[in-house]
Structure 1
Amino acid sequence: MTVMSIKGLRAVVAGAALALMAACTSGPVATYPDVTWRHLDPIVFAAGPIEKVAAWSDNEDGSIQSSLPFNLGRMAMNWPDDRIQTAGTNDMLRYSVTEASITSNALKTTKGIKGVFTDDQSDKIDLKVAAKLELLDPNGMQKGEVTAMAERSRTLSESMSVAEREQAVYDATTALLMDLDREMERQINNNLGRFLLR
């Protein structure tokens, strides 16, 4: 019978840990494309340049944004690049994302032996995004403003893998940003229509 030394045992454990880490990190990492609105007709303003302002915070209680491989606020900031065109005057547009949050709250799940055989909804994901579009004259005086907000929620089952959870949250994020687009366009047509080039 061979007795392994402490040094030898440590080497084996360290080697096994490294092999496990390599196996965990060598798998394909899911990537998620930015949501775009390029397939939609542009909204054309009689105005000049567009200024973009990131005015949201990622520090909300329960935020899971930092653990996701995509960013709601950053994608929302792309909206005017795809939807707004300008032509004509010295007026300026200012687009601000004022809220962009993805938060998670744990739900009660079945405990004990029964819980082993029950696939509960374990987490509730709440998504919210809000944006503002202002039309300013050359002196910075506001001539008009619209705001839009969209909210969605969905639950995740405890049996879902990390990849399945990320995909579910991404799908909800995509739907949320499409909701924002529809509300922004509605508000623009209702309240800033006189500044549009038809």
Structure 2
Amino acid sequence: MQRLLQHGRLDATGRLPHIHSMNGRRTRFFVIAILFIVASCETPIQSRSFPQQTFQHLTPISLDVANIRIVRLFNPPLKEPHIEHEMPVPPIKAIERWITERILAVGASGQAVITIRDASVIETGLKRAGGIRGTFTTDQSERYDARIEVEIRAADGRGIRTAKARTTSSRSRSISEDATLNERRTLWYELTERVMSDFNRTFEMQIRKHLAPFLK
């Protein structure tokens, strides 16, 4: 009886190392899995960088004035529904660069005043499908409306000869509800690029039409 009891103790203690080993492996696996999940969550998303939008490849528009002044009537509000401050290239910056690179003062007197009246981009939430249909569909969640309005006034040194031109350009884009931040920023960049392309074409046409006496 004593021998059987001793044998029973030996069996019990003999199984303990195996149980501890299994529990240890499970614990280590659980800890490693948790660390992997945490590390994945903390991995920073690489933000895409965007090139500058320049206009140096275009022929400058030379005006018979001594200087050019830029007047800002629009300033980004930095709050919803405006999103200009979040964009890689806000329209206001693109317009100012366009003026610097495309409009040249080559005269001895006179002045051209370029007024930026609007350079806004507004975000509007779109209605999405609800219920079961909404579960299985990917909708467009937001629309972005860009609008540019710029005016130029030119006057000679005595204020006798004057001329003005104005243009308005607008573009809209919508984005999917499952878009990533980088995809959203890419859309914003392209939106500025396209509305500026429209602006460049129409404003140059208006300048050549209405400011012809000042062109050199």
TM-score band by shorter chain is: 0.7 to 0.9
Q: Where does residue 142 of structure 2 map in the other structure?
A: 123
Say if 2:63 is the partner of 1:45: yes
Q: Structure 2 regions of 5+ residues with no counterpart? A: 1-34
Q: How many residues align?
A: 182
Q: Normalising by the residue count of structure 2, what TM-score does the alignment of the two structures yield?
A: 0.75
Q: Normalising by the residue count of structure 1, what TM-score does the alignment of the two structures yield?
A: 0.81
Alpha-carbon RMSD across the aligned residues, in angstroms, is 2.6
Query: How far, CA to CA, are the matches of 2:142 and 2:204 in structure 1?
Result: 32
Query: How far, CA to CA, are the matches of 2:94 and 2:161 in structure 1?
Result: 26
Q: C-alpha deviations, 1:135-182, integer Å up to 9, x for none? A: 133366771111111001111111211111110121011010111111
Structure 2 CA distance for partners of 1:142 and 1:160, relative to 1, 3 Å = farther
Structure 2 CA distance for partners of 1:116 and 1:141, relative to 1, 3 Å = farther
Query: How far, CA to CA, are the matches of 1:143 and 1:21 in structure 2?
Result: 62
Structure 2 CA distance for partners of 1:42 and 1:142, relative to 1, 3 Å = same
CA shift for structure 1 position 21: 8.0
CA shift for structure 1 position 116: 2.1
Q: C-alpha deviations, 1:55-112, integer Å up to 9, x for none? A: 2032386111223233211211111211112223301111221101111111111122
Structure 2 CA distance for partners of 1:101 and 1:142, relative to 1, 3 Å = farther
Q: Where does residue 147 of structure 1 map in the other structure?
A: 166
Q: Which has the larger radius of gyration?
A: 2
Q: C-alpha deviations, 1:21-45, integer Å up to 9, x for none? A: 8533xx4322223322111111111
Structure 2 CA distance for partners of 1:57 and 1:88, relative to 1, 3 Å = closer
Query: How far, CA to CA, are the matches of 1:189 and 1:136 in structure 2?
Result: 15
Which letter does structure 1 place at the counterpart of 2:214?
F
CA shift for structure 1 position 20: 7.5
User: Which of 97, 103, 113 is 2:132 aligned to?
Assistant: 113
Which letter does structure 1 place at the counterpart of 2:102?
R
Q: Structure 1 regions of 5+ residues with no counterpart? A: 1-14
Q: Where does residue 207 of structure 2 map in the other structure?
A: 188
Query: How far, CA to CA, are the matches of 2:41 and 2:162 in structure 1?
Result: 58
Q: Where does residue 23 of structure 1 map in the other structure?
A: 43
Say if 2:124 is the partner of 1:101: no
User: Quick one: percent identity of the two aligned structures?
Assistant: 26
Which letter does structure 2 place at the counterpart of 1:93?
A
Which letter does structure 1 place at the counterpart of 2:55?
W
Query: How far, CA to CA, are the matches of 1:128 and 1:142 in structure 2?
Result: 31
Query: How far, CA to CA, are the matches of 2:52 and 2:108 in structure 1?
Result: 31
User: Which of 35, 50, 65 is 2:84 aligned to?
Assistant: 65
